[in-house]
Structure 1
C-alpha cells in the first residue's frame, strides 16, 4: 500500500514537471502613459528637496498651502528677513515655507516674536526625518 502511494506521487511529480515546462506566462506588453504635469511636479519636488537640509535644528513654519502662494511668501520673507534662511518644503498635497535653522528652542522663540508681527499663522517646529 505504501509503495503504491509513493509510486503515484512520483508519477504525479514526473507528469507535472514535464507539462510544467510547456506552460508559459502571458506575453503582453504594457504601455504606461502619464500626464506631463506629473513629471513637472515630480521635478519640482526633487529640486525643492535637494535644497532642503533637515537636521536637529528648530524651524518656524510661516506658510502651509499651494505652490504659488508658497513662492510668494518665500520671496516676501526673504525681502523682510534677509538674515534668516528660508526654504519651501513639499509634503503632499501642501507646500510649506520653513524658515531658520535655530540650534536651541530659545533662539527660535526669540525670532518667532519678530516673525509673528509680519506673519499670522506661524508654528515653531522641530522636523524629524
Structure 2
C-alpha cells in the first residue's frame, strides 16, 4: 500500500517537473530571435562626400585660396552679450565691430537666449588680455572655451 502511494506521488512530481521544463523550453523558444541581414540603401554620392571629408580633415584638401585645408581647434572666445532680446544682441555685435573691425564676431541662439561671442583666441592668456582691454566697454563679459576658427592669415605681396 505504501508503495502504491509512493508511485502515485512520484508520477505526479514527474509530470509537474516535465510540464515545468516544457514551459521553460517553449518560452525560451518563443522569445528567441533569429539572425537577420541588414541592407543599407544609400546614395552613391554619400561615399564621395565621406572621402572628401576625410581628405579635408587630413589637411590635404585645397580651399579656394590654395594651400592646406580648413582645420579648427578648441580655443577661447569672449562672450560679450547674453540675453533674450535679439535686437540688443545685434546692437552689441555692431558696437563691437565698430570698435574692433579686424576681430570676428559670432551670434548664436540657444533657446531662449542670444549669445554674442568675439574673437578666436588660441590661448586663455590672449583672451584675458583682450578682456582687460574691453572691460570698460563691455562690463558683463566672460571667457568661454569652444571650437574656434583658425586666425586670418596675412599675405604680403611684396
TM-score range, shorter chain: 0.5 to 0.7
Is the aligned partner of 1:119 residue 2:146? no
Higher-RCO chain (CA-CA 8 Å, sequence separation at least 6): 1
Paired position in structure 2 for 1:39: none
Deviation at 1:114, TM superposition (A): 0.9
Match for residue 89 of structure 1?
108
Q: Which runs of 5+ in 2 are unaligned?
A: 1-71, 148-158
Structure 1: 4+ residue segments shifted above 4 A: none
1:126 aligned counterpart, secondary structure: strand
Q: Give the count of matched residue pairs.
A: 91
Aligned to 2:154: none
Q: How does 1:1-129 map to 2 (within 5 A)?
A: 55-68=73-86, 69-127=88-146
RMSD (Å) for aligned C-alpha atoms? 3.0
The higher radius of gyration belongs to 2
The unaligned stretches of length 5 or more in structure 1 are 1-53
Deviation at residue 91 of structure 1 after TM alignment? 1.1
TM-score, normalising length from structure 1?
A: 0.55
Match of 1:23 in 2: none
